[in-house]
Amino acid sequence: MKEPMYKSARDLPSAHLLGAGTAMCAGCGGLEVVREAYDVLGENTVFVNAAGCMTLMSVYPFTPFRGSWLYTAMASAPAGAQGVRDALDIRRAKGELEAGDDLEVVVLTGDGAGYGMGLSATSAAIDRGLDFLYLCYDNEGYGNTGQQTSPATPHGARTATDGALAGVAGEKKDLFGIWVANRPTYAATVVGSEPLDLARKVARAKSRSGPRLILALAPCPTGWGFEPSETVAIGHLAVRTGIWPLKEYVDGRVEHTRRPHPRLPVTDYLKTQARFAHLFEPEPNEQVLAEIQASVDAYWDAVE
């Protein structure tokens, strides 16, 4: 039987639309965030995607979105966003595009591009005052190629490239702090396990113009080593232990939207993931565990 022809994703049955995302891993924290954010952003959105895990959602010529999608190389998404925004502005100036038909330009990137390869292009876009929303799903490694160490990989974690001894010796880069230092219009951290906090922040970002950051922790079952059914619980633990602070930068000030009290010990979070198993077996690595706890304690001592 000959397959029917479809002119666009709008003509596809819902099963086909969902099928565009079936290559994603079960329990993906990044996909959780994108779905929740898209509920707020709506279909008048164009995603400019930096190569990464979320690229698997777009199977040419379709995507699971009702809006638009542009694929770019890992380091090029902010530059692609500039071209899209410029084209939209030119069409509006010519009267070819009504205000109600304008699109929200969203860079969709993982931490490999967000914290590393694409940071230069991102900095330049902020400097130019580009009107775009930058959505980074942070699974703390190069997840699409086997969970190698990225600039976002936390201290002590074992990855495909840091599998010896106590894991990663360095510290996770502070992308939120880097953005704040550049004085964007808005910046916030989120996690899919806290959907009301996420929705409020995405709505607040959408209501503004200029450079805006939504930085999302994205628990990764395959890369971190846990059952897909535990994604939400691990997100909650990241917040309750203070490892992932929920905060926002608005009107020149950083405010925490959730202050965990009482804070749980970091071991409650670390024990849930195979990437930290070596810190507990065959015997606890008290030094590294104390370093991780001390880092979290120092952060909250400085803000409380």
Contact yes or no for 68/87 (Cβ under 8 A): no
List, in order of start, the domains of the chain with CATH numbers: 9-303 (3.40.50.970)
CA 96 to chain centre: 33
φ, ψ at 261 (rounded to 5°): -150, 120
Q: What is the pLDDT along the chain (304 residues), one digit of tens a residue?
A: 343 333 333 343 333 333 334 468 999 999 999 999 999 999 999 999 999 999 988 877 788 888 899 999 999 999 999 999 999 999 999 999 998 899 999 999 999 999 999 999 999 999 999 999 999 999 999 998 899 999 999 999 999 998 777 899 999 999 999 999 999 999 999 999 999 999 999 999 999 999 999 999 999 999 999 999 999 999 999 999 999 999 999 999 999 999 999 999 999 999 999 999 999 999 999 999 999 999 999 999 999 7
